[in-house]
Amino acid sequence: MWRAEHRLILTLLGLAVIGHAARLWFMAPHPPGAAFLAPGEVDDRVSHRARAVEEHRPLAPGEHLDPNTATAAQLARLPRIGMRLAKEIVADRELRGFFGSVAELDRVAGIGPATLRRLEPFLRFGRAVPAPPRTVDINRATQAELETLPGIGPVRAQAILAYRDKHGPFADQFALGRVPGIGRKLAAKLAAEGRLK
């Protein structure tokens, strides 16, 4: 009985191996990892790779970017500017307004005279007129409206609302500095930029 069971197991294993080999032989070849993708995603992966290669390709001589309208991904293509510094440029632009010239990029931490010389051939400044800063009434603003202010995220917006609920309306723009987590410096900066009323 032992030998019969042994032969049966070997026969089943042999048939499984032959069946698997036949399936591999007659199946259409797929790129590695295609079994994990939904139908139609194989082409998306190829286009995604092409997009990624294009986004990470350095700017060629003669190619230009406008630092007042370019996204962080586009700015990261500039020589010696990675994604971290590109995000710093965008954040500075949103906080302080548009750059008027290459020299004004010096206000971004991490960009110095040597970097400016390297960037100059790749930058062109459009004639965009900066939009006036959005003014928020701190005594009536919702959390979403408060979050549109530079330097105010969800946690600080909630702190402003809690302070306003507990102590009543703010007497003036600078009273915002009494809110824990805001500070006088940020309140004065927002007031000076015309963001508060």
**Which residues fall within 8 angstroms of residue 186, CB to CB, at 6 or more apart?**
151, 177
Instruction: Give 20-54 as a DSSP string.
Output: HHHHHHHSPP--TTGGGSPTTHHHHHHHHHHHHHH
For residue 151, what are its two tokens? 């330097």
Encode the chain (197 residues) as per-residue pLDDT tens digits: 578 888 888 898 888 888 878 777 776 565 555 555 555 555 566 666 777 676 677 777 778 889 888 888 888 888 888 889 988 898 888 877 888 888 888 888 888 888 888 888 888 887 655 555 678 888 888 888 888 888 888 888 899 999 999 999 988 888 888 898 888 888 888 888 777 87
Confidence (pLDDT) at 163: 92
Confidence (pLDDT) at 136: 85
Reading phi first (left if > 0) and then psi (alpha if -120 to 50, else beta), residue 131 is in beta
Give the chain's domains with CATH numbers: 55-122 (1.10.150.310), 143-192 (no CATH)
